[in-house]
Structure 1
Amino acid sequence: MSTPIALLIAVLLLAANGFFVAAEFALLAARRSRIEQLAAEGDRRAQHALAGLRELSLMLAGAQLGITMCSLGLGIIAEPAVASVFEDLLHDLVDLPSGVSHAIAFALALSIVVFLHMVVGEMAPKSWAIAHPEPSALLLARPFRLFAVVFRPFIRALNLAANGVVRLAGVEPQDELAMAHSSADLVLMLDEAAEEGSIEVDEHVLLARSLELSGLDAAAAMTPRPRVVSVAETATIDEIEQIAVATGRSRIVVVGTDLDHPVGVVHVRDVLTHRDGRDATAGDLATPVLVAPDGLPLELLFLRMREERRHLALVVDEHGIVLGLVTMEDVLEELIGEFEDETDRRARRVRRQGDGSYLAAGSLRIDEVASRIDVSIPEGDWDTLAGFLINQLGRVPTEGDAVDTATASFEVVAMDGVAVREVRIRRRARRGTTPDPSTPE
């Protein structure tokens, strides 16, 4: 074979090597959701790329076969051809023994071929495919699939042999790349996007809160039973108005014999429209109430409330006992943070004090203590701050009781009967730091 033809073949092999490397990394880096979207829209290139993603193991084996064939071809054809060029040049320029000139030519040729193979045939196409994953996958999918179809029997045999080796190591091979992500994985991805400036801080907070809803259930966001405002179904309009004014509630639960026998919900608006009909009762004005199990995921409860156009749901346990209620406001506060409207008379659940301590509601969840006060509480069989204190004390707390942990001290400052209403939290200074009372909540 003449040297010019050998060099031309070497260039083609180098380009083919780059093609297989780019195709391999394009399949690994491309977003499957985007490829599926384009395929659904009728893009034929995307359909080829999606077919490759569905048998990823086979396609990667094909890429490795192609790279190996090109690498061997470069070693067999390119190195001797380049060495021949250098050997002729050395023979014309200097008078060296043939053995010496051949060794120098071989070393130069090998260095050049290896350099071009690594940079042009490997690194450059890899970087291009990673930088443009979807466009590269669409561009290369069809010819790469054609190669895989032609060599499919050989590729499948090699892939079966490789899978056998993998199984010997105790690992089950996968034909597709695992693309599913847990909510925790997505939160980490959001954190990375925020750090890189791809999304704004407010967007990051909102999206992260939305994902974190998947870890909460109806019981986590409910107002506990002792704080549920209710009226008997026999209550008159005057009595309903008095309770609404005293509590600031616009929706009040209507009950029969007790809270475990709910009749429905009465809205203050309906009461006001029936002022002339003073003989009407709460039972007459009540509309059906949504009932949800305490373990129902919060995002599913939110969807049910939207579908049924309910702004309030009662939360029950497995025995049908009402544990509390959840309002649409409660769910939205889990999503975007606490807010107060014109009917919300509840004290803020966390208040910073001038001395750097916090006053927190006993019903504050453990995860809220960690996120809002930056205080970690040991894990255990409790969901709220009050539950933690009761467990640690081994009894119902009284005002003045305190519990200390490695990160903070907790002092009960207000009780509501046997319920812990308010707790003072003082953070302990971390080693090498001091608490900053001026830091905003």
Structure 2
Amino acid sequence: MAEPYPSPSPHRAVRHEDKRGFLQKLAEFLHPGPDSKDELIEALAEAEHNDIIDAESRVMLEGVLRIADMTAGDVMVAAPRMDVIDIHAPFQDILNTVIETAHSRFPVYEGGRDNIIGILMAKDLLKLQRAPELSLRALLRPAVFVPESKSLNDLLREFRGNRHHLAIVIDEFGQVAGLITIEDVLEEIVGEIEDEFDEAEDAGDIFALADGSWRVSGDTPIERVNEWFETQLPDDEFDTIGGLISHEMGHVPKRGERHEVGGLCFLVQHTKGGAVTWFKVTRVTDSA
């Protein structure tokens, strides 16, 4: 005799109990969740307005959403601005490059800048200094290569998984297009990552030092520099003092380089991403 009702299949999916209360279901029916990324960003702004989250949390959450549509090519340091090391360069030249740029990792090439053969950790130079018989080639770490189209989400996951902090970006023809670091990706989420040369926002972009000189950030408007130092630097072509000094010198300045203009001497103290972060400024009469 057949059973009046079929017994439940052991492979049938188990229906989970909806634990939402009546009021929660009603609220979600009347105010459905966002259907697009733009609506989600608007919801985050409303949450901040209602003091549900603070401004920093909103910016960070928006950064997480933003990198979902970004690729390595959007964030990378372009190849012409990369600080690289020639495998055959003298030790002193390599050491000078490390000191001037203050990076912790350097792509190393052989023959041409497109032929990256590995990554040099700045700290590994200590081994070479202690044991000159070692070969620089033996100190190189494997280089990681990623296409320009690599999504930042996937790249960040790989950075965390393989513990590499730098990758070489290649274009569709297999040529080196630039490089990207884990810091570049994180800064898209949390904003600029400060280091020992960065000052708090209320410290200002120009401030006096004890020795009578000044520290001036590279993105300070030229108009503000003119007001502070009572100079007449041209501001018709460039907005920032960093842009003006780079144009005057004919190249992106490196740490330790000096340039005089308008009666002021600009000493490059720190650079980042191919731009000057901080200058030390003295009057030409004082520096002389």
Amino acid at match of 1:265: I
Q: Tell me, yes or no, if the aligned pair for 2:78 and 2:179 is still in contact at 8 Å.
A: yes
**Structure 2 portions without partners, runs of 5+:** 1-12, 199-215, 227-233, 253-273, 276-288
Residue 285 of structure 1: how far off its partner (Å): 0.9
Aligned to 2:84: 230
In 2, Cα distance between equivalents of 1:356 and 1:401: 14
Cα gap change, 1:132/1:349 in structure 2, threshold over 3 Å: closer, same or farther? Answer: farther
2:221, 2:95 → 1: CA distance?
A: 35
Q: 1:44 to 1:333 in 2, by over 3 A?
A: closer
Aligned length: 215
Q: Contact conserved, 2:75 with 2:180, CA < 8 A, in 1?
A: yes
> Take 2:219 and 2:181, find their aligned partners in 1: how far apart are those partners?
20
* Distance in 2 of aligned mates of 1:135 and 1:236: 70
Which protein has the larger Cα radius of gyration, Structure 1 or Structure 2? 1
How big is the shift at 1:264?
Answer: 0.9
Identity of aligned residues (%): 26
**What secondary structure, in the 3-state scheme, does the structure 2 residue paired with 1:284 have?**
helix
Structure with the higher fraction of residues in helix conformation: 1
**Change in CA separation of 1:239 and 1:212 when aligned onto 2, cut-off 3 Å:** same
Report the Cα distance in structure 2 between the residues aligned to 1:410 and 1:245, rounded to whole angstroms: 26
Letter in 2 for 1:327: T
Which residue matches 1:267?
121
Quick one: which amino acid aligns to residue 133 of structure 1?
K
Structure 2 counterparts to residues 360-375 of structure 1, below 5 A: none
Q: What's 2:59 paired with?
A: 205
Structure having greater relative contact order (Cα 8 Å, sep ≥ 6): 2
Question: 1:290 and 1:351, CA in 2 relative to 1: closer, same or farther beyond 3 A?
Answer: farther
Q: Could you say which residue in structure 2 is the equivalent of 1:167?
A: none
**Cα pair 1:237 1:278 within 8 Å, conserved:** no
Question: TM-score, length-normalised on structure 1?
Answer: 0.41
Q: Deviations over 1:67-87 (max 9, x none)?
A: xxxxxxxxxxxxxxxxxxxxx
2 CA distance for matches of 1:238 and 1:330? 29
| Equivalent in the alignment of 1:214 | 68
Task: Determine the C-alpha separation between the residues in 2 that align with 1:278 and 1:226.
Answer: 31
Query: Equivalent residue for 2:24?
Result: 132
Does residue 44 in structure 1 map to residue 17 in structure 2?
A: yes
Provide Cα deviations, 1:148-184, integer angstroms capped at 9, x if missing partner: xxxxxxxxxxxxxxxxxxxxxxxxxxxxxx9784433
Write out per-residue CA displacement over residues 269-295 of structure 1, whole angstroms, 9 at most, x where no aligned residue.
111133222133332211111111112
Letter in 2 for 1:351: T
Q: Is the partner of 2:45 in helix, strand or coil?
A: helix
Question: Residue 4 of structure 1 aligns with which residue?
Answer: none
Amino acid at match of 1:240: I
Report the CA distance shift for 1:279/1:243 in structure 2 as closer, same or farther (over 3 A): farther
- Any conservation in 2 of the 1:290–1:314 contact (CA below 8 Å)? yes
Deviation readout 1:244-282 (Å, 9 max, x if unpaired): 112212211110111211011100111113322213333
Q: Which residue of 2 aligns with 1:307?
A: 161
Kindly provide the amino acid, as one letter, of the partner of residue 263 in structure 1: I
Q: Which amino acid aligns with 2:171?
A: D
CA distance in 2 between counterparts of 1:343 and 1:279 reads 36
- Give the whole-Å Cα distance in 1 for the aligned partners of 2:111 and 2:190: 37
8 Å Cα contact 2:221/2:240 also seen in 1: no
Structure richer in strand, relative to its length: 2
User: In the alignment, residue 44 of structure 1 is paired with which amino acid?
Assistant: E
1:45/1:218 Cα in 2 relative to 1: closer, same or farther (>3 Å)?
closer
What do you get for the CA RMSD once the two structures are aligned?
4.0
* Cα distance per residue 1:91-126 (max 9 Å; x no partner): xxxxxxxxxxxxxxxxxxxxxxxxxxxxxxxxxxxx
Matched, 1:351 2:243: no
1: CA distance between counterparts of 2:184 and 2:119? 17
Cα pair 1:315 1:322 within 8 Å, conserved: yes
* TM-score, normalization by structure 2: 0.61
Amino acid at match of 1:206: M
Mapped partners of 1:246, 1:355: distance in 2: 28
Q: Provide structure 1 residue ranges, at least 5 long, that are not aligned to the other structure.
A: 1-39, 50-127, 138-177, 358-398, 404-408, 423-441
Correspondence 1:336 to 2:190: yes
